[in-house]
Amino acid sequence: MIQTLLPKHLVKTRTSVLMMIPAILLLIVFVGEPFILSIILSLTNLRLGSPLPMEFVGLQQYYEIFSDQAFQRAIVNNGIFALCVVPIQTVLALSLALLLNQKMYGRAMFRMLFFMPVIFPLSLVAVIWIIIFAPNPEGLFNDSLNALTLGHWQARDFLHNEYFALPAIMLTSIWQGVGFQMIVFLAALQAIPHQLYEAASIDGAKTWQQFWHITLPQLRYTVAYVVILTTILAFRLFDQVQIMTQGGPSNASTTIMFETVKSAFAQQQVAKAAAMTVVLFVIVLSLTGLQQKISKKVRI
Amino acid sequence: MPLNFKSNVIKFVRYSLIISATAIYLVPILYMLLGSFKPDDHVLSGIFNKLQYVAEHYSLQNFRDVFERVDFKRYLANSLIITGCVVFFGLVVNAMAGYALARFHWQGRKLTLTIILAIMIIPMEATAVPLFYQLSILGLRNTYVVQIIPFIANAFFIVLFYTYFLSLPKELEEAAYMDGASPWRTFLFIVLPNSKPVLASVAILSFLLQWGNYLWPLLMVSDENVRPLSLAISTFYTLPPLQWGDLFAFGVLMVLPVLIVFIVFQKWFVQGVVASSHKA
């Protein structure tokens, strides 16, 4: 670490500080300060347009949000979303990466096609899938299910259905996210030393044995890493919910961030919204802690 | 012979798997692409259903509708201005910070590094509420500035630059300093030209994040004149009358410029996105 620094006498301290100042100033003003303010606000009763004076009320906002049914539902929904999306997306992405790691014609093209949705803004992806889930019998999703069940499917309005709204958002998210994961897995697969496989084939190991005893162990930290990253994203879920379902019907697809935005901007309950973002931060923080534990193991 | 037969079967299975997976995966994109050329009342009719009818009636009407119903060119320009500024100033500010951290002795260097690693954990969502009110009080709603400045400095990008600069050999720089070059000159003409991979990764990541940014403009922007594409697609969806074909045409127009850049610079996109997964 020390030897990467340049010798002291070569550069004046003033220059190095000048190079650092714009970034650190912007980070403090636009991340650090509002974040601390968020924590402070969450301990008050601030509500815009309320006649009550602002005062500190301790943890009252936290009691309130955790007894708020919509917020409880939001946390559960984020959890269900993570529990379903993360394993499905990871298994799909890993299978694709394994398939596309083989020598085959058009490999680069296939990779590109799966990676393409990464450049689609989530808001556009949400709108595309709204049209796919169109309630009409000729809507693509309804029509496909009808074809699969040989005409036994009754067209329904997935996004306004208590049981289908959240799964519909999950499917949308998996579609957008799987290419990203696949690319990360491919990079990791290509980093596995060839010698391991060569040695294994000399010892007569079959393909699935090689997968089980070489590929998976070599990939385990990448997988763990990506799983946690996807889980963090699952708890930050907002765009698709806002555009596709507005959290409905009757909170069936609401999320922590959707409730936050609703409290802060529709209901002007600033303190309550701040408390929700602090809860989100604590979740993200614990997941990041887990991630760092893993990344330390990677280096060893 | 049996061995050859077996490997052919495996090949066949592999190709059919990957081709069918790709076909299913591309359905939404094909649906959008074909739908954008269909008359509005036929957009929903499957992908290939009535293909004959559609082939006879396909038109650019949906695209014309988009330009007539909303100021698409304005939105595109807004997205380009906002994203362009964030990417450019972000590269400058974050690269400088990464360099100062990687190479120079100064008081508080270690502390600053720790602060940056801590700030990296804070998701944008956790700061949105107070930031919204503060910037609104300053009268910054519905401006470009409010969509640009908060996203210039990025702790994660600083760390990417920092770790990359650590990996560069420092002898070249030392020689430059011995010859009396200033730190700025050295940074600009020796360090940056040797840092193309990290510059490309950060540029692409910051482009993707900004181009798709939805939450922040949703909160800060109600004025059409500064509305970016990512927000405009959802406001276009809620603009009556609801016409599926127009929405798809909007989507195609929105993706096309990025898609071209993506295909040309695919290698860099992959590298940038892989780098983002190492966010620790």
Q: Do A104 and B14 touch (CB under 8 A)?
A: yes
Of the candidate ranges A227-231, B109-113, B260-264, the one whose mean pLDDT is the lowest = B260-264
Looking at the predicted structure, is the pLDDT value of residue A127 above 80?
A: yes
Per-residue confidence (pLDDT) for residue A55, from 0 to 100? 85
Count of alpha carbons within 13 angstroms of residue A156, beta-carbon side? 13
Residues of chain A found within 8 Å of residue B128, distances taken between Cβ atoms: 34, 260, 277
The closest of A167, A141, A234 to B28, measured between CA atoms, is: A141
Measured at the CA of A103, the angle between CA A101 and CA A104, to 5 degrees, comes to: 110
Looking at the predicted structure, is the pLDDT value of residue A281 above 90?
A: yes
- At residue A299 the predicted structure's pLDDT band, cuts being 50, 70 and 90, is very low
Percentage of residues in chain A having pLDDT higher than 90: 49
Q: What residues form DSSP beta bridges with A50?
A: none
The closest of B72, B215, B256, B154 to A22, measured between CA atoms, is: B154
Q: Do B21 and A99 touch (CB under 8 A)?
A: yes
Q: CA A38, CA A254: separation in Å to the nearest integer? A: 22
Per-residue confidence (pLDDT) for residue B3, from 0 to 100? 64
Residues of chain B found within 8 Å of residue A124, distances taken between Cβ atoms: 230, 233, 251, 254-255
Looking at the predicted structure, is the pLDDT value of residue B216 above 90?
A: yes
Q: Which residue of B has its CA nearest to A186?
A: B274
The closest of A132, A136, A114 to A169, measured between CA atoms, is: A132
Task: Write the ipTM.
Answer: 0.90
Q: CA B13, CA B247: separation in Å to the nearest integer? A: 38
**Mean pLDDT of the region B165-170:** 87
Q: CA B190, CA A108: separation in Å to the nearest integer? A: 34
Q: How many other CB atoms sit within 10 Å of the CB of residue B236?
A: 21
Which fold, A62-299? MetI-like fold (1.10.3720)
Structure tokens at A157: 């309005």
Per-residue confidence (pLDDT) for residue A191, from 0 to 100? 85
Per-residue confidence (pLDDT) for residue A300, from 0 to 100? 37
Looking at the predicted structure, is the pLDDT value of residue A7 above 80?
A: no
Q: CA B272, CA A289: separation in Å to the nearest integer? A: 24
Average pLDDT score, chain B: 88
Looking at the predicted structure, is the pLDDT value of residue B161 above 80?
A: yes
Q: What residues form DSSP beta bridges with A56?
A: A44
pTM for this one?
0.90
CA distances from B176 to A6, A18, B102 (A): 12, 20, 17
Per-residue confidence (pLDDT) for residue B2, from 0 to 100? 59
Q: Do A23 and B233 touch (CB under 8 A)?
A: no
Q: Which residue of A has its CA nearest to B152?
A: A26
CA distances from A126 to A236, A269, A287 (A): 16, 28, 26
Task: Parse chain A into domains and list their residue ranges.
Answer: 62-299
Chain B, residues 126-155, CB within 8 A of chain A, namely 126-134, 149-150, 152-153, 155
Looking at the predicted structure, is the pLDDT value of residue B49 above 70?
A: no
Percentage of residues in chain B having pLDDT higher than 70: 94
The residue with tokens 């892989």 is: B274
Q: What is the pLDDT of residues B197-207, one digit of tens each?
A: 899 989 988 99
CA distances from A205 to A21, A200, A202, A211, B10 (A): 57, 5, 8, 10, 17
- At residue A176 the predicted structure's pLDDT band, cuts being 50, 70 and 90, is very high
Q: Which residue of A has its CA nearest to B178?
A: A10
Cβ-count burial of B240 within 10 angstroms (0-12 exposed, 13-18 middle, 19+ buried)?
Answer: exposed
**Mean pLDDT of the region B21-35:** 89
Chain B, residues 209-248, CB within 8 A of chain A, namely 211-212, 214-215, 218-219, 229-231, 233-234, 237, 244, 247-248
CA distances from A283 to A126, A163, A296, B123, B125 (A): 25, 26, 20, 11, 12
Assess contact for A62 and A42: CB atoms under 8 A.
Answer: yes
Q: CA A178, CA A86: separation in Å to the nearest integer? A: 10
**Mean pLDDT of the region B151-176:** 90
Q: Of A146-160, B15-29, B59-73, B79-93, which one has max mean pLDDT?
A: B79-93
Query: In a mutagenesis test of the A interface, which of B66, B106, B191, B274 is the best target, namely the one with the most A β-carbons within 10 Å?
Result: B106
Collapse the DSSP code of A133 into the 3-class scheme (helix H, G, I; strand E, B; otherwise coil) and give the result: coil
Per-residue confidence (pLDDT) for residue B280, from 0 to 100? 40
Q: Do B244 and A260 touch (CB under 8 A)?
A: no
Per-residue confidence (pLDDT) for residue B230, from 0 to 100? 95
Burial code (b: 16+ CB inside 10 Å, e: under 16) for A119-153 equals bbbbbbbbbbbbbbbbeeebbbbbbebbeeeeeeb
Cβ-count burial of B4 within 10 angstroms (0-12 exposed, 13-18 middle, 19+ buried)?
Answer: exposed
Looking at the predicted structure, is the pLDDT value of residue B86 above 50?
A: yes
Class of B74-276 per CATH?
mainly alpha
Q: What is the pLDDT of residues A109-119, one digit of tens each?
A: 888 899 888 88
Burial code (b: 16+ CB inside 10 Å, e: under 16) for B40-67 equals bebbbbbbeeeeeebeeebeebbbebbe
Q: Which residue of A has its CA nearest to B49?
A: A138
